[in-house]
A = this chain, B = another copy of it.
Amino acid sequence: MTDVARAAGVSTMTVSYTYNRPARVSPDTRARVLRAAATLGYAGPDPSARSLRYGATRTLGVVLGEHLTYAFDDPQAVRFLAGVAEVCAERGYGLLIVPTGAGDDDHDRVVAAAVDAYVVWTTTDDDPVLAAACSTRRPVVIHGGPERAGTTMVGIDNRAAARAVGVEVFAGARRPVVLSFPLDRNREMFVGSGIDPDSVAYPVTRDRLAGYRDAARDLGIDWSRVPVGVCRTSDEDDARTVMRHLVAAAPDLDAVAAMSDQLALGALREATGPLRVSGWDDSDVARQHDLTTVAQSLREQGAACATAALGDPVPDHRDAWRLVRRGSTAA
């Protein structure tokens, strides 16, 4: 900038004004400055220097969980991100995706990112990435949980929703099972019975499991005998693998409550007989396969997270879900 000023025969301030307050510079000088800039290949004020000066970056950080990869493969996470992006676009904020999960320096990356606030995608209570985001004292909004002092949480009441859909899918079933997201960050695939929701590290998964248990109780079903198949991701292929294990463990299974439409689809594909199935999210998949599911707008929640992170109030989302009854639980 100093160079441009010299070349144009003005002070640096005039150059600065030319870019930031064009009205305060005479058209003549302005043209001269711009010409000098063009000659020197100067493209405008340096963004880092500007941020330093302003004390703000006009950038919103997003942490998509332990492995970036999972997030992009999960259509719901993508929807969520689209919501965040929408708000960023409207308000002229950059959207910085912080690259986590590729090393052991996640903490440093989160702390060292040039952002004004953080939106954190659902994670576990003990996720160091979450701790890192909170430690920077920037505003933090967490989607889905965990709740944490000093942060904002945006998400639906997963327990209530799971109970509602659980009652629907388990009704009349003699051998209900659950197809679950991972319980903790190890993301082990396995089949267990009567899993205690309180032992689950992901709040969203915990709440949904608790809701399914509530539903089982409502229907007089003994939760301790309900097999839970735990998948590594929200992936149809994962679901099929786990479903095969479930069928092996409980050949008479006749109802599956799945934590996503993708998982539900996997269950359908591996079904050996008549089967009641419920999904979650009311995605295209659910509509195509006539799946009973829980409708919620991840996109809207993403937008709400961004809005909250940028300091504006957002409505409570606890009741922003809806049970969608379809053919998959009609029999």
Contact = CB atoms under 8 A, between A and B. Distances in A.
Interface of A: 41, 43-52, 57, 59, 68-69, 72-73, 78-79, 81-82, 85-86, 88-90, 92-103, 105, 109, 111-115, 135-137
Contact of A69 (B41, B49, B82): B82
Copies assembled: 2
B97 A97 contact: yes
Given A89-B102, A96-B97, 11 more contacts: A43-B135, A47-B114, A47-B115, A49-B52, A73-B82, A88-B99, A89-B99, A92-B103, A92-B109, A94-B96, A94-B109
A48 B43 contact: no
A102 B97 CA distance: 20
Contacts of A111: 43-44
A140 to B, nearest CB: 12
Nearest to A88: B99
A113 B72 contact: no
B89 A100 contact: yes
B52 A69 contact: no
B92 A57 contact: no
A78 B82 CA distance: 10
7 contacts: A48-B114, A69-B85, A72-B78, A89-B99, A92-B102, A94-B98, A97-B97
Contacts of A101: 89
Contact of A137 (B41, B82, B98): B41
Nearest to A42: B137
B86 A68 contact: yes
Contact of A45 (B57, B112, B135, B137): B112
Contacts of A112: 44-45, 47, 50
Contacts of A135: 43
A85 to B, nearest CB: 5
A114 B43 contact: no
| Closest 5 pairs between A and B when the two form their complex, measured CB to CB | A72-B82, A89-B99, A47-B114, A48-B51, A89-B102
Interface centre among A47, A90, A109, A111 (most CB of B within 10 A): A47
Given A51-B114, A57-B114, A99 B109 contact: no
A99 B105 contact: no
Interface centre among A51, A92, A114, A115 (most CB of B within 10 A): A114
Contacts of A41: 137
Given A43-B137, A44-B112, A59 B89 contact: no
Contacts of A68: 82, 85-86, 89
